[in-house]
Chain A
Amino acid sequence: MSLLEISNLSKRFGGVVAVDSCSLSVADRSITGLIGPNGSGKTTVFNLVTGFIPRDAGEVRFKSRSIGGLGPDRIYGLGIGRTFQLARIFPRLTALENMLVPVRRAGFRAMLSHGQWRHERDRAMEMLDFVEIAHVAGTVGGALSYGQRKLLELAAVMMAAPELVLLDEPAGGVNPALLEKIADHIRKLNQQGVTFLLVEHNMSFVMNLCHEVVVLHQGKAIASGKPKAVRENPAVLDAYLGA
């Protein structure tokens, strides 16, 4: 069963067709990779699914419900979280405060209960510890390094307990050893029922982690399937991977 279903989705910016009647689906409880050359429309698909930009045509369904015309806050509330290619965090809040923003979004009632709040705080510290930035929990976001911001954003999106998480280049700017741990953590969250759709150029990361891979080229899905089959597909080799 697919959790997310995109059909004939299109988006044009001036004369550029960024997403061209694109159709793809993300199976429930899968880790699906979205790969393709720079400029093939991957981030635009993310922006359309999460309501950051309006579509020109086509349909997006989440749990069989149409979410095509909804705004980003509504879509977030329905259980779709995302990260950005260039991490977006609150620069004047500390790392720990950044972690607690999604919790506030999850409900004021939770905040009012002191025990619950402490629980969320502990959970936030655990997540920070996991991505190896617990030592900067009290540092404001603006003073973190680029890689640390990416890790903070990844940790923070999980605080809202989304059902579907869209990750835009989780490996970009993250050191390789930590990347393996992040892959393990994504696997663990996936086993707990979280579905992932991720854009990534690090092929070993994608091939080791993803159950399914979809390849975008010039705004269209040109191939999809198991990582191994996609990697050997001549059209993919030509458009994306190179010789």
Chain B
Amino acid sequence: MAALLELRGVTAGYGGGDILHELDLTVEDGAITCIVGPNGAGKSTVLRVVSGLLRPRLGTIQFRDASIAGLSPRAILQRGIVQVPQERSLFPTMTVWENVRMGAYTVRDGGLIERRLQQVCETFPIVRDRRFEPAASLSGGQQKIVEFARALMLDPALVILDEPSMGLDPKTRTTVFDTIRAMNQAGRTILLVEQNARSGLGLASHGVVMESGRIRLEGPGPAVLNNPEIGRLYLGATA
């Protein structure tokens, strides 16, 4: 597989010191890459530098062999990277359909928007079934699915998910992880951060363990999951 996204020597922070320290990370085309690690390790910060919400202080970020470090979030969206944030991000008083259409905000071609809307309705029937209801009337899991649908309106090559299972009941969590797998099988490359390490690494073709702004260990998802040291340090006995 070829690299779709490559971070080299990325150093970044929020003004109060660096969070990421010369971080190198490769996301292969077609892979599901999952980052795990302790709270405050810098996992969400990695996602933010990729999606342009945070400008790296040092280092390079290549996406499909073009540099994207320092570009605006809008420019990065247009190149095919979409992020679904950690916290609930639908507009609560807008309908489901209006929310999903917002995903195509940067698209000018009305016909294309309609075609994509039909596609996401097929992938996520809830978008059609609940289209006229305000997003706030949906449960947490349903809202997460609608956020995925909104992300796909740009037909992205890379979908970034920040803790997609957070706040979801066990049944819904299974549905969400199945949905992630299905998005991947439909050709999207996935980069996700997940505290539910067993589900996340179980799903991932590539697992990455971060600590203190650096990569501590990486490898195939199951191998990382079964690494005894990592198990003891990060996963806990009963997780």
Q: Which residues of A contact B (CB under 8 A)?
A: 16, 35-39, 85-86, 132-133, 136, 139, 143-148, 150-151, 169, 172-180, 201-205, 208, 240-242
Contact B140 A173 (CB under 8 A): no
**Can you list, as one digit per residue, whether each of B157-172 has a CB less than 8 Å from chain A (1) or not (0)?**
0000001001111111
Closest Cβ of chain A to B21, distance in Å, is 15
The chain B residue sitting closest to A169, CB to CB, is B167
Residue count of chain B within 8 Å CB distance of chain A: 40
Please tell me which one of the listed residues A39, A208, A242 contacts residue B140 in the complex, with CB atoms under 8 A apart.
A39
Contact A147 B39 (CB under 8 A): yes
24 A-B residue pairs with CB within 8 Å: A16-B137, A37-B171, A39-B140, A86-B87, A132-B38, A143-B16, A145-B40, A146-B44, A148-B40, A172-B195, A173-B86, A174-B195, A176-B195, A176-B234, A176-B235, A177-B236, A178-B236, A179-B236, A180-B236, A180-B238, A240-B169, A240-B171, A241-B170, A241-B171
Q: Which of A148, A201, A205 has the most CB of B within 10 A?
A: A201
A144 CA to B14 CA, complexed, in Å: 10
Contact A144 B239 (CB under 8 A): no
List the 6 closest A-B pairs by CB distance, nearest first: A147-B39, A39-B139, A176-B239, A38-B139, A242-B171, A176-B236
A180 CA to B238 CA, complexed, in Å: 8
A164 CA to B42 CA, complexed, in Å: 34
Residues of B within 8 Å of A150, CB to CB, are: 39
Q: A16-B137, A38-B139, A173-B163 are in contact. Are A136 and B40 (CB under 8 A)?
A: yes
Task: Flag whether B184 is at the interface (Cβ < 8 A).
Answer: no
Contact B38 A178 (CB under 8 A): yes
**Can you list, as one digit per residue, whether each of B105-148 has a CB less than 8 Å from chain A (1) or not (0)?**
00000000000000000000000000000000111111000000
Contact B39 A37 (CB under 8 A): no
Task: Flag whether B186 is at the interface (Cβ < 8 A).
Answer: no
Please tell me which one of the listed residues A36, A148, A177, A204 contacts residue B169 in the complex, with CB atoms under 8 A apart.
A36
Contact A204 B40 (CB under 8 A): no
Contact B167 A179 (CB under 8 A): no
Contact A175 B234 (CB under 8 A): yes
Q: Given A148-B40, A203-B170, 18 other A-B contacts at CB below 8 A?
A: A37-B171, A145-B39, A145-B44, A146-B39, A146-B44, A174-B195, A176-B195, A176-B235, A176-B236, A177-B38, A177-B235, A178-B39, A179-B236, A201-B170, A202-B196, A204-B239, A241-B170, A241-B171
Please tell me which one of the listed residues A37, A133, A177, A240 contacts residue B40 in the complex, with CB atoms under 8 A apart.
A133
Residues of B within 8 Å of A176, CB to CB, are: 195-197, 234-236, 238-239
The chain A residue sitting closest to B239, CB to CB, is A176
A35 CA to B168 CA, complexed, in Å: 11
Task: Flag whether B66 is at the interface (Cβ < 8 A).
Answer: no
A229 CA to B14 CA, complexed, in Å: 48
Residues of A within 8 Å of B140, CB to CB, are: 38-39
A240 CA to B232 CA, complexed, in Å: 30
Please tell me which one of the listed residues A143, A145, A204 contacts residue B238 in the complex, with CB atoms under 8 A apart.
A204
A202 CA to B163 CA, complexed, in Å: 14
Residues of A within 8 Å of B197, CB to CB, are: 175-176
Contact B168 A201 (CB under 8 A): yes
Closest Cβ of chain B to A87, distance in Å, is 10
Task: Flag whether B237 is at the interface (Cβ < 8 A).
Answer: yes
Please tell me which one of the listed residues B37, B86, B88 contacts residue A175 in the complex, with CB atoms under 8 A apart.
B37
A132 CA to B234 CA, complexed, in Å: 13
Closest Cβ of chain B to A180, distance in Å, is 5
Residues of A within 8 Å of B239, CB to CB, are: 176-177, 179-180, 204
Residues of A within 8 Å of B195, CB to CB, are: 147, 172-176
A240 CA to B196 CA, complexed, in Å: 18
**Can you list, as one digit per residue, whether each of B77-99 has a CB less than 8 Å from chain A (1) or not (0)?**
00000000011100000000000
Please tell me which one of the listed residues B45, B87, B141, B174 contacts residue A38 in the complex, with CB atoms under 8 A apart.
B141
Task: Flag whether B57 is at the interface (Cβ < 8 A).
Answer: no
Interface residues of B in 42-74 (CB under 8 A from A): 44-45
Residues of B within 8 Å of A179, CB to CB, are: 236, 239
**Can you list, as one digit per residue, whether each of B5-19 has a CB less than 8 Å from chain A (1) or not (0)?**
000000000111000
